[in-house]
Structure 1
Amino acid sequence: MSNSPTFLALGHVTRDIQLDGSFTLGGTVAFAALTASRLGLEAGIVTCADAELTTQLPSLLPGIQLTVQPSIQSTTFANRYQEGFRTQYLYSRADSLELSSVPPAWLEAEIVLLGPLAQELDVDFVKHIPRRPGQLLAATPQGWLRRWESDGRVWPTPWQDAEQILPLLDVLILSHDDLLPFADGDRTEADALLARWSQFIPLLVATDGRYGATLYQAGQPQKFAAYPVQEIDPTGAGDVFAAAFLTHLFWHQDPAQAVNFANCAAACSIEQPGMLGIPTLAQVLARMQS
């Protein structure tokens, strides 16, 4: 492997507790880096985890370059789905990620994805990431849209730092559903917030499940249909979408084509449980052609 990955994901990996008490590896950075790797890029992760999980990561993330900032505990979630809705609990949280934990050479990556899950990347972290021409700096902000109670129950919270962080980014990718709690469930109001945010950033993409995705450029929306699927497990679909979009954008510099490609990759990913559904480039292209 090279010293510097082409695709770098920053944020917490997670233990996702299952109904039987076992865990599966989760987190935006895990799904996104594996997606980039299966699409053909050298991928790396900088994360924070306890000693036991750290020893397991190389086997759980084969082919991924890893830098782990030590922590007494790892971020641990439990996700419960019922009729398409998720109730989430945060049982433990790893330390916040420090920029000094990122190998300097890795900051030369062509694509850098910020994938916070539990407020582990603060404004100063983002502000001090060194930039270079041609690099794509992107974020999936779900971890900036969460708060949790003493019992661990996770609730939505407004993204207070949005207008500080957005101008620092090239791409923001998020789920339309993440904004509905702040719009009283009104999709029109959520769309208005997306349009406002898109004024601060070159590219914004909002995924919307079976409704597809919307690309915003300078406040102007362009909608893309979803691919038909037989849904088995939606976990990580948004992260697969984000990595596929950024990978295609890096290759071809065409945001519209990148959304269609990412829609297809996300559709593939939810037809098998967990990370088993993350597709290869050949699988995505075959599905698009069919």
Structure 2
Amino acid sequence: MLPAREFLLVGHYCHDTIVAKDGSIRLALGGASAHASAVLSPLGVDFHVVAKVGDDFRYGDLAPRPPRVIRGHPTTAFVDDYRGAERAGRVAAAAPPIDPEDLGDVPCRIGMALGIAREIGPATLARLRDLAEIALGDAQAFVRQVDAEGRVGIAAPTPSLRREIDRLDWLKLSRSEADALDPASLRCAAIVTDGERGCVLVQDGREIHVPAFDAREVDPTGAGDCFLAGFAVGLWRGWDPPRAALFGNFCGALAVAQHGIPRLSSEDLAGFDPGSRR
């Protein structure tokens, strides 16, 4: 049997165009896998990323793990506009989907479905579930819809995808995503994130509120990805879910204080003090 990896992250990198509240525009490496890696890398965690990009990918030197380059196809590209009350997203290009065989045969302790533009279908999610001891997913991978103009909306997942979502151990949802996919209806446990109010764990018919940490918000992009990575690290360390979620909140608070993919250090993450939020 092949030795298990610790973490397997599945989801594309992307080209982000970020329009700030003041109208300024910034280009950056994006993708949930890239943001989650910002938590795993300084901890020295063994992780592998399955991501596809086009031959136009311009952040090869910044990618935490090398993606697979698909010649003749574009890299997934997003425009995130923060000028309104809610973020408005648009998909300008999409790389090919991730296939089950792209995940290989190596088992992992923690598997994370971190799709950004529906690149993870039911068969690929099923493959991740089979490889992972603990499988987590981000609802954005499954409930995002893209219309003909590229505008991003939210809708319930297909029945085949929903069946595989129910096989996960944990699913993270934002408040808006929870409107499309009721956490109480899931067979898996759920985490509903709510910004400065923290998050709520929904497990075995119980809800547990986990408070947020104070944060100086500079750029909210990717905060949820860093949260989920922190939560996953907590589970990997054997912590109970509330403590793991508290560490996730801590990672999210660190992430929003920087532009783009946050540059976190092991010292930053060692500053986690669960007693400060009890």
TM-score (normalizing by structure 2): 0.87
Name the SS for the 1:66 alignment partner: coil
Q: Render the CA deviation track for 1:125-155: whole Å, top value 9, x for unaligned.
A: 22234636x7111110203111122221112
Specify which of 33, 36, 48 is matched with residue 32 of structure 1: 36
Instruction: Find the aligned partners of 1:144 and 1:17 in 2 and give their Cα distance.
Output: 22
Unaligned runs of 5+ residues in structure 1 are 183-189
Match of 1:173 in 2: 172
Match of 1:9 in 2: 9
Q: Is residue 56 from structure 1 mapped to residue 59 from structure 2 by the alignment? A: yes
Q: Render the CA deviation track for 1:170-204: whole Å, top value 9, x for unaligned.
A: 11112123234x4xxxxxxx8xx21222xx01x31
Instruction: Find the aligned partners of 1:232 and 1:210 in 2 and give their Cα distance.
Output: 14
Q: Is residue 73 from structure 1 mapped to residue 74 from structure 2 by the alignment? A: yes
Instruction: Find the aligned partners of 2:87 and 2:173 in 1 and give their Cα distance.
Output: 16
Match of 2:267 in 1: 282
Q: CA deviation at 1:224?
A: 0.9
Structure 1 vs Structure 2 CA RMSD: 2.3
Specify which of 151, 154, 168 is matched with residue 153 of structure 1: 151
Q: CA deviation at 1:39?
A: 2.5
Specify which of 141, 144, 167 is matched with residue 143 of structure 1: 141
Name the SS for the 1:147 alignment partner: strand
Aligned-partner residue type, residue 149 of structure 2: D
Match of 2:117 in 1: 118
Name the SS for the 2:91 alignment partner: strand
Q: Render the CA deviation track for 1:229-250: whole Å, top value 9, x for unaligned.
A: 1111100000000011001111
Q: How does 1:191-202 map to 2 (within 5 A)?
A: 193-197=182-186, 200-201=187-188
Which shifted more, 27-36 or 262-271?
27-36
Match of 1:44 in 2: 48
Q: Render the CA deviation track for 1:153-175: whole Å, top value 9, x for unaligned.
A: 11211123364023321111121
Instruction: Find the aligned partners of 2:260 and 2:74 in 1 and give their Cα distance.
Output: 23
Identical amino acids, percent of aligned pairs: 24
Q: Render the CA deviation track for 1:103-139: whole Å, top value 9, x for unaligned.
A: 323xx2211101111111111222234636x711111
Match of 1:82 in 2: 83
Instruction: Find the aligned partners of 1:44 and 1:159 in 2 and give their Cα distance.
Output: 27
Instruction: Find the aligned partners of 1:77 and 1:68 in 2 and give their Cα distance.
Output: 19
Question: Aligned pair in 2 of structure 1 residues 95, 47: CA closer, same or farther (>3 Å)?
Answer: same
Q: CA deviation at 1:65?
A: 3.4
Unaligned runs of 5+ residues in structure 2 are none
Contact 2:12 2:31 in 1 (8 A): yes
Aligned-partner residue type, residue 220 of structure 2: P
Contact 1:240 1:265 in 2 (8 A): yes
Aligned length: 267
Specify which of 238, 245, 248 is matched with residue 252 of structure 1: 238
Aligned-partner residue type, residue 113 of structure 1: M
Q: Render the CA deviation track for 1:39-74: whole Å, top value 9, x for unaligned.
A: 231222111111231x732x212xx33341525111
